[in-house]
Every structure is written in structure tokens, then in C-alpha cells.
Amino acid sequence: MAFIEPLSLTGRHVALEPLSLEHEEALAEAVCDGELWKLWFTFIATPEKMHDYIQTAMQMREQGAMPFVVRDLRTGKIVGTTRFFNVDATHRRVEIGYTWYAASVQRSAINSECKKLLLTHAFESLQCIAVEFRTSWMNHLSRAAIARLGAKQDGVLRSHQLHVDGSLRDTVVFSITAAEWPTVKKHLQFKLGE
């Protein structure tokens, strides 16, 4: 049995469902809400490249990752994606990333609940000892959102990767440990009015 199996996670505001090619049209529409591919410091596909983006995610799933689409339960619409990846079953660690949301749902309960669902699964079902997040140094909104979750910054990997435009990317690494999870969970529940 694999460490991470395909599954759906559902809260009050969002449902996370396994990503498939059936979601291509809905994701192409969602990415147009804010023209997210224009953020030069991210790896978000254009509507025309959404098929390839999903194919890459499916290949990652074959290697142990778990990509999801994010469904807004208020509207029933697909509003973004997220995934577990860099899965290390031996050391019980996962990374949460490849997360993007349509501009109209950013700074709403969507991200908080997505992260609560993913973190609950990671710490309480998979018994992870740590969950990691990474983002570009230049992605100030993402860095702030990760910190608001309660994750702590571990460090910065200098000249770690290349951005899509070829410029050097410094990667900021954050994590939440199993010992920190109860406090982070309480914080997320408070933010969500639970």
C-alpha cells in the first residue's frame, strides 16, 4: 500500500478532489480569474497549457504525489489546485505546494480550510512528523499566507531554482512539525469560526 492514496477531503467551504484530465476546462477557466500565469515568480500554467500541467501532475502521482482540485462548495466551481508531493514515507514528511486559487477566492476561507484539511490528513492519518511549504522569495503574498497558517520559516535556499523566465529563484522553506500541529489546528479552527 502506498503512503498516500487518492482520496477526497471535504470541509464546510471546500472539497479537495483527485485531479484528473476531466478538470482541464474548469482549471483553464479558474486560472483566467486574475490571469495567474502572469505572476512571473510562479509556475502556473496558461489556459492553453493546462492539459500539460495536469499531465505533469498525473506523472507526479505515479511517483507518490497526490494532486487535488479545489472545489468551492458555495458555488460548486473548481477554483484552483494544490497537492501533496516530495513525499518521504520513510521519514513521514510531505510537502504541500503547487497551490493556486482564482483571484476571486484569494484571502477567503478557501485557503485556510484547504490547509486545515491537508494538514489534518498529514498529521492525523499519515502520522507525519513534519509538513513543508516552499515558495519563491519574490512571492510575498504566498510567504505571508504560509506564515499566517502558523508555519515557521526554516530558511532560504539561495539560487535554488530558475523561475519560468530564467531568472534565479531563492526558495523560502517553511514547515509545521507534529508538535506544533495542535496549536496550528486550533488557530485554523479559530480563523474558520469553528
Binned at pLDDT 50, 70 and 90, residue 32 comes out as very high
**Eight-state DSSP code of residue 132:** E
What pLDDT is stored for residue 1 in this prediction? Answer: 58
Give the domain range for residue 131: 9-191
Higher pLDDT, 108 or 124: 124
Taking only the tens place, the pLDDT of each residue in 136-192 is 999 999 999 999 999 999 999 999 999 888 999 999 999 999 999 999 999 999 999
* Confidence tier at 39 by pLDDT (50, 70, 90): confident
User: Considering the domain boundaries, does residue 126 fall inside one?
Assistant: yes
CATH number at residue 77: 3.40.630.30
Is 149 inside a domain boundary?
Answer: yes
- Mean pLDDT (whole number) for 9-16: 97
Helix, coil or strand: residue 149 = helix
Crossing angle for the helix pair 181-191 and 140-149, nearest 10 degrees? 110
Residue 74 within a domain: yes
State the total domains in the chain.
Answer: 1
What separation in angstroms does the CA of 69 have from each of 2, 7, 40, 105, 155? 21, 11, 22, 14, 29
d(CA 180, CA 59): 32
Residue type, 57: A
| Domain presence at residue 2 | no
Rg (CA), the chain: 16
Inside any domain, residue 166: yes
**Average pLDDT estimate for 108-126:** 96
**Paired residues of 173 in beta bridges:** 134, 155
Which pLDDT score, from 0 to 100, does residue 164 have? 86
Grade residue 51 by pLDDT with cuts at 50, 70 and 90: very high
- Joined grid coordinates for residue 112: 485556510
Residue 107 has pLDDT above 90, yes or no: no
pLDDT tens sequence across 60-100:
999 999 999 999 999 999 999 999 999 999 999 999 999 99
Q: Cell for 18?
A: 483527485
Mode of pairing for the β-strands spanning 130-136 and 93-101 = parallel
pTM, entire model = 0.95
Cell of 120: 489534518
Q: Classify residue 3: in a domain, yes or no.
A: no
Give a yes or no: residue 145 inside a domain.
yes
pLDDT at 5: 86
Mean pLDDT of the chain: 95
Three-class HEC string of 50-97? HHHHHHHHHHHHHCCCEEEEEEECCCCCEEEEEEEEEEECCCCEEEEE
